[in-house]
Chains A and B, each alone.
Chain A
Amino acid sequence: MSLAVFLTELDELLAAGQRALAEATDAAALEAARVEFLGAKSGRLRAIQRQLGAVPPADKPAAGKRFNELKQALEAALTAARERIENQRAATVDTTFDATLPGASRRLGRLHPITQTIQELQEIMGRLGFSVADGPEVEDEFHNFEALNIPAAHPARDPLENFYLSTAATVTGGPYLLRSQTSTVQIRVMEKTPPPVRVISLGRVYRPDTADATHYPMFHQIEGLLIDRRVTMADLKSVLRLFAKSYFGGDVHIRFRPSFFPFTEPSVEVDMTWHQGWIEMGGAGMVDPHVLAAVGYDPDEYSGFAFGLGVERVCARRHGVADIRDFYRNDVRFLRQF
């Protein structure tokens, strides 16, 4: 085969190949064109490569050079066609796909609102340096009353105001009852820890209230206790303000109103500012010297404050819960709103 004929065939092949590749409109057509021209076994490029052997030896370098140019040109055309089809496909919309369908959802459980409230209160008090202390829910009279400066004659000890247990009076500690406040934990902490003390106790407490929208015979309290040298009511007010600012945000002010609790003296009701008015936060006071003495602290050396709030009330107010019995009904339609 003469060089001229070979080169002519090459030119024709190039033209045909470029046309075929350029005309392919989808991946299948492109693949067919690729196999026809660039197929490794029986493509037309492969066929013409075999004819290279028939070219006179003197013309072979020129023929080979031209063949390589052709091969590169075809491969370039293939790449270009591929990109073109790829882009084309990216630009076409699959109209059957509905992007507005809901996703494949996964159901996560929810933490109980009381847990969520406790976790947040606990976390804030943690930042203020208060560690969590735990204590029993079934208590003896010493920890629930006597050590808290509630003597036997006090009305708070009336059997109808408490859930006393029917167990026989034991040798130590007398009858048992479900604790009516978490201050019992503070006594237990002070009994085994020398000052300074900075703890919060939280958990279930029990009082014989008739269940209604704002009362339940079981509820949760969170109580803080700080004992050290030179602790004053100004410290109490300032800690409560930091606490309220952290929980509610914004610039909050604290107001004390005199009150009466057996284990604190002075005792106060704590109010905080709320929408141009005041709302009740809880009770507080300076730990009564009797209480300090009962746990072996010297009331002339150490002083301290305690404060407590009802978790249900805080939680109900924050989330707009109208009936606190909902907290214990466990209707998942309620629980899943938190």
Chain B
Amino acid sequence: MIVSWNWLREYVRPNASADDVARRLMMAGLNHEETQPVGDDLAIDLEVTSNRADCLGHLGVAREVAVLYESPLELPEPQPVENGPAVAELAKVRIECPELCPRYTARVIQGVKVGPSPAWLRDRLATLGVASINNVVDVTNYVLFECGQPLHAFDLNRLTGKEIIVRQPRSGEKLEAIDHRTYDLAAGMCVIADAQRPVGIGGVMGGASTEVTAATTDVLIESAAFAPMSIRSTARLLNLHSDSSYRFERGLDPHGVDWASRRCCELILASAGGQLAKGVIDVGTRPGERQPIVLRRPQIARVLGIDIPRARVRAILEALGCRTVRDDADAITVIPPSWRADLTREIDLIEEVARVHGYETIPEDVQVPMAASARTPLDRLLVAVRHALTGCGFDEAYTLSVVEVNWSEAFSPWTSAAALHSQLPVLRRADRLRRSLVPSLLGALRTNESLGNRDVQLFEIAKVYWQHADRLPDEPRLIGLASGGDYLAMKGVVETLLATLHVNAELKVAPYAHPLFEAGRGVELLLGGERLGFLGELSAAGRKQFELREGSSVAELGVERLLAAAVLVPKTQPISQFPSIERDLNLVVGDDVRWDDVERVVRAAAGELLARLDYRDTYRNVERLGAGRKSVLLSIELRDSQGTLTGAQADEVRDRIVGACRQQLAAELRE
């Protein structure tokens, strides 16, 4: 809302500069954007919140200034001279859709002389950046910016049947508006029509066919009330937003309809001449009386933390236009003004009193009682996860929760339920709520690859969305990982993470075939037999799909499973005083023997003395080992918690291991 400083001072003249007034208004709720000089005037740009439609006109802003500076407010009281015929003889009005247009008033002026506006009127509009059209249209705009009530002037002689019918459009109706664009009208909109055709989109814009031109002599002045919801949807559907629709959307003073009509006629008579018809056509329902609101005095201190004197409270409310019905020691009862539809409750009055009294009077150094706050286990876990992953050299990524359909379909190992779908794309074509973080992270890898960044390792911790038929979706938090390393490099990161979290369950892998993964290099991760997540090295097809040149591996872990298995507060174990003995074993086994099998057999055979089992290496050599054979090097550390282990005891354990491996895995010891 642009406010002309000169115009404002027609209603209120505080002893203060424009800058001071702008600052005070800002501190009372009209945020000051900027002030620009226009000729000998100032254009003060104020931001009006959606609850304060009353400040979408100079009078409303003037009222705020008058309240803040305790200055008198001078309101025009329009009394246009009516010396024409009775208005009912000149025009007719009918409302067919009272739910869209509860009230419509019309006045008629005959014999106007349309021409340029007087200088004072052009100046006022120039400050606001509104182009001058002629001395009739400019007046309707002037009154809109004066009191907030939009008006429209029709060329009465171009209204077929000299009749206004407020109705919904008929099928296929179109209207060329005064912006000379043609709009398709649809059911649910409110059109202003004459006996034959639409001549305006109610509350939004008038039509070109009946606009006031140099040839116009008789005008019909519309001042009406339109339903805010309908105006909003009409403006949106037509993508046609006007100063008029902006105001009607926010709700206007129902008592302002007639005032604006009289004011408009008075100014047209003064600037364009003519003869005003007697009376007004006023169709629809008149506004009712407002309900009184009780403000209990102790509530002021209870909400604000400060007390405000009784007389001051009453003075503020009355200056704002409230009418005091009753004023007792413990409560004041007022009826709010018609232009403040936002004031309906006690708390609304408290806010009014507070903002006018000044928020600077509220202290900023009171003692707030202390309270305990505990970190949640989830928080502790995520801090530990982030430490571990950054320690492994992974940078944390943040990617959009919503992805394009091809990414959404590329990888969804957790759920087969369809992805949720946003009606509007969140960004470009991204309209699927993601079910996995992996595609987004592969996208981030690609971004980095295309930028020439090397050694990119990324992780993200975020929620994904798994649809349900009958309730809100599941939103599990996942940890996604993506890097240029191979399968084992990625698995090592997962193992390091689990070790950092002191996870008390065993990690196993089960084959998981997926087109994104190289055959045999995709697995489901199981922790203590339950799904932890997925891990895999990308196949050539997978890399192609994400336009990655380099090899990549990904993993995705469920935070919930991790939280269940992590030991966030570890207990120490006694450290053995006795030395340990290490032995290396080089076992030659068939190529189909998995490390999992070796580990199982070795652990079972070693028994309690086994302190540690490490995989070292795998070696293949057809000449030395034979075809289909491999040599697996492992080392064991043995320790007896009760005493010093002897070399003979250690050899015995080793022999037992070798025996078991020979028997169960057809392994030979390679010396």
Contact = CB atoms under 8 A, between A and B. Distances in A.
B29 A167 contact: no
A257 B22 CA distance: 13
Contacts of A268: 359
A206 B386 CA distance: 25
Interface string B388-407: 01111111111111100000
B373 A131 contact: yes
Nearest to A262: B51
Interface in B124-143: none
Contacts of A79: none
B465 A107 contact: no
A109 B421 contact: no
B367 to A, nearest CB: 8
Nearest to B355: A258
B465 A137 contact: yes
Contacts of B363: 234, 237-238
B49 A259 contact: yes
A260 B427 contact: no
Interface in B436-485: 444, 447-448, 451, 453, 455-459, 462-463, 465, 467, 470-473, 475
A237 to B, nearest CB: 4
Contacts of B370: 129
Interface stretch (A5-13, A27-35, A80-88, A170-178): A170-178
A242 B369 CA distance: 13
A250 B138 CA distance: 54
Interface residues of B, number: 89
A171 B363 CA distance: 48
A332 B456 contact: yes
A257 to B, nearest CB: 6
Contacts of A109: 389-396, 457, 459
A108 B427 contact: no
A204 B463 CA distance: 10
Contacts, number: 244
Nearest to B29: A258
Interface string B337-356: 00000000101101100110
Interface stretch (B83-91, B297-305, B646-654): B297-305
A132 B379 contact: yes
Contact of A115 (B355, B360, B386, B467): B386
Given A134-B378, A257-B29, A112 B398 contact: yes
Contacts of A139: 472
A313 interface: no
A258 B51 CA distance: 12
B398 A114 contact: yes
B396 to A, nearest CB: 4
A289 interface: yes
A218 B401 contact: yes
Interface string A142-178: 0000000000010100111001111100111100101
Interface in A78-132: 106-112, 114-115, 119, 122, 125-132
Main secondary structure of the interface of A (DSSP, over half): mixed
A130 B472 CA distance: 27
A241 B457 contact: no
Interface stretch (A46-54, A67-75, A323-331): A323-331
Contacts of B31: 257, 259, 269
A134 B477 CA distance: 11
Contact of B421 (A108, A166, A332): A166
Given A232-B303, A235-B305, A330-B397, A163 B423 contact: yes
B419 to A, nearest CB: 10
B475 A258 contact: no
Contacts of A260: 29, 49-52
Nearest to B426: A217
Contact of B306 (A234, A238, A242): A234
Contacts of A106: 393
Contacts of B391: 108-109
B444 A330 contact: yes
B622 interface: no
B347 A288 contact: yes
B630 interface: no
Given A158-B236, A206-B426, A232-B304, A258 B398 contact: no
Given A233-B354, A255-B359, A259-B49, A165 B376 contact: no
A217 B428 CA distance: 11
B365 interface: yes
B395 A155 contact: no
A36 interface: no
Contacts of A234: 304-306, 362-364, 366
Interface string B411-432: 0000000001111101100000
A256 B367 CA distance: 19
B374 interface: yes
A330 to B, nearest CB: 4
Interface in B262-310: 301-306
A253 B364 contact: yes
A49 B363 CA distance: 99
A337 to B, nearest CB: 11
A336 interface: yes
Contacts of A228: 369
Contacts of B378: 134
A217 to B, nearest CB: 5
A12 to B, nearest CB: 51
Given A138-B475, A331-B453, A265 B366 contact: no
Contacts of B123: none
Nearest to A122: B379
A330 B399 contact: yes
B28 interface: yes
A237 B361 CA distance: 11
A254 B29 CA distance: 16
- Which of B362, B372, B470 is packed against the most chain A CB atoms within 10 Å? B362
Nearest to A329: B447
A170 B348 contact: no
B371 interface: yes
B420 A108 contact: no
B42 to A, nearest CB: 21
Contacts of B444: 330
B653 to A, nearest CB: 37
B375 interface: yes
A326 B2 CA distance: 35
A165 B355 CA distance: 39
Contacts of B354: 233, 258, 266
A242 to B, nearest CB: 8
Given A167-B420, A336-B395, A258 B372 contact: no
Contacts of A330: 397-399, 444, 447-448, 458
B198 interface: no
Interface string B149-163: 000000000000000
B252 to A, nearest CB: 15
A194 interface: no
B229 interface: yes
Interface string A221-252: 00000001010111101111110000000000
A170 B303 contact: no
Contacts of B301: 232
Nearest to B427: A217
A288 to B, nearest CB: 7
Going nearest first, the 9 A-B pairs with the smallest beta carbon separation are A234-B305, A232-B305, A129-B371, A258-B29, A266-B351, A256-B359, A260-B49, A109-B390, A112-B396
30 contacts: A107-B393, A107-B455, A108-B391, A108-B393, A112-B398, A132-B375, A137-B463, A164-B422, A164-B423, A165-B422, A165-B423, A166-B421, A170-B470, A170-B471, A171-B470, A176-B420, A232-B303, A233-B359, A237-B364, A253-B364, A258-B27, A259-B31, A260-B49, A266-B351, A286-B303, A289-B345, A303-B302, A328-B398, A331-B453, A332-B395
Given A140-B472, A163-B423, A165-B433, 10 more contacts: A132-B376, A138-B433, A138-B475, A167-B467, A206-B426, A242-B368, A254-B364, A260-B51, A330-B447, A331-B453
